[in-house]
Amino acid sequence: MSRQDDVLRLMESLHIATSVQVAKCLKNPTHSGRVQAQRDLNKLADLNLLERRDKFYLLPGCKAQGNHALAVSDAISEIYFRFESPTVYREKLIEEKSIRPDLMCHVRKENQELCFIMEVVREESLEYLRMKRNVWDEWPEACAYLSELFQAKVKHFDFVTSQEFNLYLEAVCAG
């Protein structure tokens, strides 16, 4: 598989990203890594496999733009940087609950599995965030839904916000 194939696969998870975010996903957050990512992203855009905008790239037809969308991509790039082969769903609608979490993620660390739901908090009210958290806390089939989604036995999951995300990852990676 070529590096361009890897970049395209990452963009299918990211949807929208900068070259810095893609380089971080590829575990090469150096200047050289960013330049290589930029080159691959430009080639994919030239092939009409991605759309190029001022400072970011997106999948064709993707309507995501702005700070919130790029903040979600920041979180995804951090996950790819810290973990091998994570499974990440971005803004996947859960029809039976009428919710669309920013991220649902399943990772393996050594012999442990970790599942978490993340919401990027920008201008959302505390009440709105509490409502989203309550949906997960009060949904008896949440673990079963996540187990089916990730094709892995999910016995427990965490709900984190972007504000607590780095501390959460530090705790997970340290423990």
Q: What one-letter code names the amino acid at 52?
A: R
The domain 3-80 having CATH identifier 2.60.120: the answer here is no
Q: What is the pLDDT of residues 142-163, one digit of tens each?
A: 999 999 999 999 999 999 998 8
Question: What are the residue ranges spanned by the domains of the chain?
Answer: 3-80, 84-174
Residues of the chain with pLDDT under 70: 1, 175
Question: Alpha-carbon distance 29 to 36, whole Å?
Answer: 10
CA dist list (Å): 64 to 27, 72, 76, 80, 160:
24, 10, 15, 20, 22
Question: Which pTM does this prediction carry?
Answer: 0.90
